[in-house]
Amino acid sequence: MSEDSLRWEPYDRHWIRLRGPWSVTWGDPTEHIAPPQRVTLPMSWGELFDGRHGTARFERRFQQPTNLDASERVVITLSEVRTDVSARLNDVKLSPLTHPLGDPASVPFEDVLSFDVTPYLQPTNRLTLDLTVNSLPSTETPYGLWRPVLIEVITLI
């Protein structure tokens, strides 16, 4: 199925917030510069890293939503991140959707970045988000994972 064909109009949308615990590693995740911290999101980059710039890896496990049928899609949604984001589910690199699923007005936040993870789901899943801040945005503008990370279960018509 091509990404352009993913323009569905849902009649039902259910959100699950991925609050915590998240494991957060500062710096290049392959170099293990610092031990991971456990945090509960949402929390802004400034709150977590005192405004430093660089890369941080956020990881969280979650169970596959139950009772999914062929008319449902599972989407990971980030909002208003304002940094570079690389996402993986179970070590599979995710590509952001170029078109939102359904009516964008029904998403509770602005500037949405969504990933359809339906084909990659397993009974237990590991979501990995690498965020990179190369230069610090205005201190008046929140950035990072300061809005909830959502699992959306979208039922299609």
CATH number, domain at 100? 2.60.120.260
Q: Report the relative pairing of strands 150-156 and 72-79 from DSSP bridges.
A: antiparallel
Strands (E), 1-157: 10-17, 22-26, 37-39, 54-63, 72-79, 84-89, 92-93, 112-116, 124-133, 150-156
Q: Are 74 and 101 in contact (CB under 8 A)?
A: no
In a domain, 142, yes or no: yes
Give the number of domains in the chain: 1
How far is residue 114's CA from residue 111's CA, in Å, rounded to a whole number? 10
In a domain, 1, yes or no: no
How far is residue 81's CA from residue 88's CA, in Å, rounded to a whole number? 16
Domain limits for position 20: 6-156
Per-residue confidence in pLDDT tens, the chain, 157 aa? 444 444 444 457 788 899 989 999 987 656 666 788 999 999 999 889 887 888 999 999 999 998 888 888 999 999 889 899 999 999 999 999 887 665 555 566 667 899 999 999 999 999 999 999 987 766 677 889 999 999 998 887 6
